[in-house]
Amino acid sequence: MNNNAILALDIGSTKITAIIAQNDLNNRINILGVGNLKSNGINKGSIVDINLASDTVNKAIDIAKKSCEIDIQKTFVSISSANSKSVRSSGVASIQSGQITYNEINQVLQMALYNANIIPEYEAIHVLPLYFKIDDSSAIINPLNMYGSRLEVYVNIVTVKKTTLINTQNTLKKSNILATNFVLSGYASSIAILTNEQKKIGIAVFDLGGSTSELTVFQNGTISYNDCIPIGSENITSDLSIMLHTPYKAANMIKNQYGTLVITEDDYNISENQTISKVKIPLLGNESESQEIPLTKIQPIIHARIEELLILLKDKLISSNMLEHINGGIVITGGMSKTIGIKELANKIFDDIPIKISTPINIGNGYIDFNNPALSTIVGLLQYALDTDPFFEIDSNKELRKKVEKQKITNDIAINTIKQEDTFSSIDIKDNIKENTLWDKLGKWL
């Protein structure tokens, strides 16, 4: 087996998951090790205590490494949409030979990146083509091997705060790990739960996490819009703690055990004495004392917060003019999507738009059950990292992602790399464009 081992690292506000994996000879993902710990030092998608975050990340990686002795070739790290902005741009390149190759696709995408008006404090991590044009043609999704004299592209560029990338990189230093690729977490979770057909017809993904909720819209197979709302399941816990006058830990238990948007008859009457179902919880400030709370008092608190979140997500879709383009409806994932009744509530808020609750593809392994919406991001990271036939994209290294030939049984591996003359740094526009990779820039920022 070829050693193409990668580390996928999802640094979230509630949990940190590290997975070591590689493709087998049939290009199927093979899980080699898993580390999963509660987060420390991270809030609302941002690192707020680098020492705490670093310790937890290091422990998660060490746990994953215990199951395998293999050199990690690349590390793919999720980045929250909370620290991102999208920029539209376009580029043009001549087709020297008449036939479009990866070289021309790379050049036109690099030109679009060069032309983009990116805020100085931000750095591009994804350059995603919305569509191409050849000469005076209409929109084209895949121009590879087509003929013409002029190739044009219109792109959506996902940018992230430079300080976010630096802090993330510094967090990994304790593990002697270098993040070789950054991936927007909403992008990753979408990869794990969407089909190519859904991406083409237009669809929105709500990844409802612990402290943030990410919105990603796909059109024509790629991201056309992304945003983030700083509300997650932790807000529900806080609401329960405040409204029920109980410690945060007890409130979290209530949320996990009794969290629902649906009140049943059993909640009102489960005993011969016709009494309402109740749960005993400790009092805030005096945990030795307890109080009984009816289950019917819990549901309205949870309902109010999730309703607010869904309305805010709808407002984002309306203000961005994306609501009318999601012909495939809305897919909800993330830990909060497990709340009973959330699909029915979303149906009311979004009227006739189809709503689906989705879990990621369950990659067979002996370590972890991926059939859990809270694991969508880490599964998408694995798929992104080990995809041998990706859609055209300039990644966080400013390199074109493209098809990799299938491994041969003899381990005579065909490696597709971008030649130096194919990169935008070889185009004679400005000398300083040769500072091409994110890692050159990170070194300069540091």
Q: Residue 437 above 70 pLDDT?
A: no
Contact residues for 189 (Cβ-Cβ < 8 A; gap 6+): 205, 207, 214, 216, 333, 334, 360, 376, 377, 380
Indicate the pLDDT class of residue 286, thresholds 50, 70 and 90.
Answer: confident
Q: What is the pLDDT of residue 415?
A: 30
The string of DSSP letters for 158-217 reads EEEEHHHHHHHHHHTGGGT----EEEEHHHHHHHHH--HHHHHH-EEEEEE-SS-EEEEE
Q: Which residues constitute the domain of residue 420?
A: 83-161+395-445
Please state the rounded mean pLDDT for residues 356-369. Answer: 89
Indicate the pLDDT class of residue 426, thresholds 50, 70 and 90.
Answer: very low
Q: Quick check: is 409 in a domain? A: yes
Q: What is the pLDDT of residue 429?
A: 35
| Beta-sheet strand order (sheet of 203-208) | 222-229, 213-219, 203-208, 330-333, 355-357
Task: Judge whether 438 and 398 are in contact, CB under 8 Å.
Answer: yes
pTM: 0.85
Element spanning 265, H or E: helix 265-268
Q: What is the pLDDT of residue 34?
A: 95
208-260 pLDDT, tens per residue?
999 999 999 999 899 999 999 999 999 999 999 999 999 999 999 999 999 88
Query: What are the angstrom distances between the C-alpha of 35 and each of 15, 67, 158?
Result: 10, 10, 28
* Nearest of 71, 93, 67 to residue 3 by alpha carbon: 71
59-71 pLDDT, tens per residue?
999 999 998 888 8
Q: How far apart are CA 377 and CA 153, in angstroms?
A: 28
Our measurement of the distance from residue 240's CA atom to the centroid of its chain's CA atoms, rounded to an integer in Å, reads 28
Q: Quick check: is 67 in a domain? A: no
CATH code at 404?
Answer: 3.30.1490.110
Query: Mean pLDDT of all residues in the chain?
Result: 87
Q: Quick check: is 401 in a domain? A: yes
Q: Residue 425 above 60 pLDDT?
A: no
* Nearest of 6, 222, 195, 198 to residue 109 by alpha carbon: 222
295-318 pLDDT, tens per residue?
889 999 999 999 999 999 999 999
Q: Quick check: is 341 in a domain? A: no
Q: Quick check: is 323 in a domain? A: no
The radius of gyration of the chain's CA atoms, rounded to the nearest angstrom, is 24
Q: Residue 364 above 90 pLDDT?
A: no
Q: What is the pLDDT of residue 420?
A: 33
Q: Quick check: is 413 in a domain? A: yes
- Domain total of the chain: 1
Q: Residue 366 above 70 pLDDT?
A: yes
Indicate the pLDDT class of residue 45, thresholds 50, 70 and 90.
Answer: confident
Q: What is the pLDDT of residue 275?
A: 57
Q: Residue 431 above 50 pLDDT?
A: no
Q: What is the token pair recorded at 95? A: 């087709």
Q: Quick check: is 229 in a domain? A: no
Q: What is the pLDDT of residue 4?
A: 84
Q: Quick check: is 260 in a domain? A: no
Q: What is the pLDDT of residue 434?
A: 39
